[in-house]
């Protein structure tokens, strides 16, 4: 968990020795930390610096009192200006500044005391699938010994026609669900069996596929078509289609709108996520569902990989801003960094946090061909009781158009409790997000979701009711105590001589971020294996079958 920087006199920067490395990384976000661990494991010399006194950068978990200053930093002049202006005899000095990542910040309510007992994720809502690559990388690198997880024990809920419904994601859940009609149960059960048979057939070695297995495979024609069309062909009702599309396959945008353009999920993509979801259920004995969450917040993940890198010889210096970059003018290649201390560090590869920008370069920071949304609206809430009776941690999915007709993207909400050490007992926190191209539209969807689940603190509780399908008769909405809504830019350096890691995106998991990180590593070291399986140190209590 991050801590607040200490106020006081100007920092006394240390001198770094040696002054030349294979790789220098600026910023300790999750992708930079994974990359540092991979480079150090490959035997490269690594220097990893960060201007903050804590690990995580844009992926940090910070004390709630620090949130406002992190989202809306003072526009004070950079302390590194003097260092950057000094010039260099052998290299061209290129100015470096921080870009504004967050905007449209609005808070309401009063944070309960003690406020420091609340820890806030900057990337929320976010979970890890039990079977996804982030977990595998933690196991392979040894990072799993530096972080503890708990299950999202309440599973997932779908917001549909003003009520919350449990997501039927298995045979048992389908036939226990008293809200489903028999035809809906049969259609959904047949669909899951079809997908299960396809996954089994495609995962078998090519020389061992039997004739019956081949017949069970979904045709290439269907795999390349929109997933929503395939679901309709399987006879799924609109509600069951929403369950599969938005609560299991995790589609972001409306898949049945008049202008879906390039945001449609293909059947192939949908089945890949369903396969990951299915493989995650039951992977760990102490994880009830498909998702797990790190104790103390997602800021623990970059710390875990930084520790792995340090074990392999990487050098870490926090509270060390980078003032400027050093460029070989003839080769147009960055060869090092000038630190705020005035010291020049040379390197073969330089990777910077994507929140940095170079005003003197005209290189665009957005790829016009990217399918990723330009922004993500996020929300944070503190409230007094669970949205699902008897559950501590739960995921809620609001499909497109479920909150209002103009809602074009899904909204996801992750409720967390004190058993994750992110808030005091008796309190709950929730993170919300939705992708958007317009800040006001995204924030409106977040507010609509908040209004749907919570009652304002000064309202009459007798008026706040939420239809629920749980066995509990307690249908009074939780009381909203404090909330914050803001917008995060999603930008990425994709051209020019500068390398940077991906920003936090709109997704619920880290798959896209880690895939981009792996490609970056492969581009730098094409002959090296990315965090090989035998790279982790051996621990006496090693147990890969536990989520904790």
More confident residue, 450 or 354: 450
The answer to whether domain 170-280 has CATH 3.40.50.1360 is no
* Contact between 149 and 293 (Cβ < 8 Å): yes
pTM of the model: 0.88
pLDDT of 260? 59
| Domain covering 152-166+373-489: architecture | 2-Layer Sandwich (3.30)
Kindly report the average pLDDT of the chain as a whole number: 85
pLDDT of 221? 87
Both tokens of residue 212? 């019956």
Kindly report, residue by residue over 398-438, the tens digit of the pLDDT: 999 999 999 999 999 999 999 999 999 999 999 999 999 89
Kindly report, residue by residue over 449-502, the tens digit of the pLDDT: 999 999 987 654 444 445 555 444 456 899 999 999 999 999 865 445 678 899
How long is the chain?
A: 548
pLDDT of 75? 57
Q: Is the pLDDT of residue 10 over 90?
A: no
Mean pLDDT of the 118-146 span: 93
- Strand, coil or helix: what is 146? helix
Per-residue pLDDT band at 443 (split at 50, 70, 90): very high
Q: Is the pLDDT of residue 365 over 70?
A: no
Kindly report, residue by residue over 513-539, the tens digit of the pLDDT: 999 999 999 999 999 999 998 666 655
| Long-range contact pairs involving 267-271 (C-beta distance under 8 Å, separation at least 24) | 267/218, 267/222, 267/223, 267/224, 267/225, 267/226, 267/227, 267/230, 268/223, 268/224, 269/227, 270/227, 270/230, 270/244, 270/245, 271/195, 271/198, 271/199, 271/218, 271/223
**What is the CATH class of 20-99+295-368+492-531?**
alpha beta
Both tokens of residue 124? 């929320």
Kindly report, residue by residue over 169-212, the tens digit of the pLDDT: 888 888 888 888 999 999 999 999 999 999 888 876 655 556 55
CA 127, CA 358: separation in Å to the nearest integer?
A: 33
Q: Where are the domains of the chain?
A: 20-99+295-368+492-531, 152-166+373-489, 170-280
Kindly report, residue by residue over 50-64, the tens digit of the pLDDT: 999 999 999 999 999
Provide the sign of the torsion angle of the four alpha carbons 170, 171, 173, 174, taken in this order: positive
Per DSSP, 30 falls in state H
pLDDT of 257? 75
First to last CA, the chain: 17
Kindly report, residue by residue over 93-117, the tens digit of the pLDDT: 988 888 889 999 999 999 999 999 9
Q: Which of 31-35, 77-81, 310-314 has the lowest mean pLDDT?
A: 77-81
More confident residue, 197 or 544: 197
Q: Is the pLDDT of residue 80 over 60?
A: no
pLDDT of 368? 43
Mean pLDDT of the 385-398 span: 93
pLDDT of 153? 84
Secondary structure (DSSP) of 356-378: EE-TT----SS-TT--S-SEEEE
CA 198, CA 369: separation in Å to the nearest integer?
A: 32
Q: Measure CA 151 to chain center.
A: 17
CA 498, CA 501: separation in Å to the nearest integer?
A: 10
Mean pLDDT of the 70-80 span: 64
């Amino acid at each position: 968990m991050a801590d607040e920087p200490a106020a006081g006199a100007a920092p006394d920067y240390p001198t770094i020795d040696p002054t030349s490395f294979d790789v220098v990384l600026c910023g300790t976000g999750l992708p930079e930390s994974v990359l540092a661990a991979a480079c150090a494991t490959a035997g490269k010399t690594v220097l990893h610096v960060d201007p903050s006194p804590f690990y995580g950068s844009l992926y940090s978990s910070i004390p709630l009192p620090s949130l406002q200053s992190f989202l809306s930093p003072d526009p004070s002049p950079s302390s590194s200006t003097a260092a950057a202006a000094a010039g260099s005899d052998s290299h061209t000095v290129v100015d470096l500044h921080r870009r504004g990542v967050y905007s449209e910040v609005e808070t309401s309510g009063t944070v309960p005391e003690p406020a420091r007992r609340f820890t806030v994720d900057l990337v929320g809502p976010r979970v890890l699938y039990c079977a996804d690559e982030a977990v595998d990388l933690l196991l392979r690198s040894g990072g799993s010994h530096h972080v503890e997880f708990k299950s999202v024990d309440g599973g997932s809920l779908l917001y549909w026609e003003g009520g919350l419904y449990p997501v039927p994601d298995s045979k048992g859940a389908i036939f226990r669900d008293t809200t489903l009609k028999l035809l809906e149960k049969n259609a959904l059960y047949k669909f899951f069996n079809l997908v299960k048979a396809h996954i089994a057939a495609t995962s078998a070695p090519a020389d061992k596929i039997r004739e019956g297995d081949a017949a069970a495979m979904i045709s290439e024609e269907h795999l390349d078509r929109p997933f929503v069309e395939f679901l309709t062909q399987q006879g799924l009702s609109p509600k069951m289609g929403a369950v599969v599309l938005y609560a299991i396959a995790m589609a972001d945008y409306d898949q049945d709108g008049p202008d879906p353009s390039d945001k449609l999920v293909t059947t192939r993509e949908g089945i890949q996520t369903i396969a990951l979801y299915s493989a995650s259920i039951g992977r760990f004995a102490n994880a009830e569902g498909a998702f797990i969450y790190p104790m103390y917040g997602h800021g623990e993940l970059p710390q875990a990989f930084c520790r792995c890198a340090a074990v392999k010889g990487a050098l870490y210096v926090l509270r060390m801003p980078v003032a400027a970059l050093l460029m070989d003018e003839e080769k147009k290649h960055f060869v090092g960094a000038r630190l705020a201390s005035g010291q020049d560090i040379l390197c073969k590869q330089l990777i910077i946090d994507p929140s940095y920008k170079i005003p003197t370069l005209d290189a665009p920071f957005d790829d016009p061909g990217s399918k990723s949304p330009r922004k993500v609206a996020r929300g944070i809430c503190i409230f007094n009781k669970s949205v699902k009776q008897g559950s501590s941690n739960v995921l809620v999915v609001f499909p497109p158009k479920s909150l209002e007709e103009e809602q074009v993207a899904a909204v996801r909400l992750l409720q967390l409790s004190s058993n994750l050490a992110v808030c005091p007992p008796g309190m709950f926190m929730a993170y919300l997000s939705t992708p958007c191209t317009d800040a006001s539209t995204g924030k409106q969807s977040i507010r609509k979701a908040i209004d749907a689940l919570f009652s304002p603190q000064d309202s009459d509780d007798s008026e706040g009711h939420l239809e629920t399908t749980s066995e509990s008769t307690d249908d009074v909405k939780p009381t909203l105590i404090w909330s914050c809504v803001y917008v995060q830019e999603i930008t990425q350096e994709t051209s020019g001589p500068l390398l940077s890691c991906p920003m936090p995106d709109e997704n619920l998991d880290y798959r896209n971020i880690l895939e981009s990180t792996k490609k970056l590593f492969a581009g730098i070291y094409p002959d090296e294996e990315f965090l090989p399986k035998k790279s982790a140190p051996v621990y006496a209590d090693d147990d890969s079958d536990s989520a904790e």
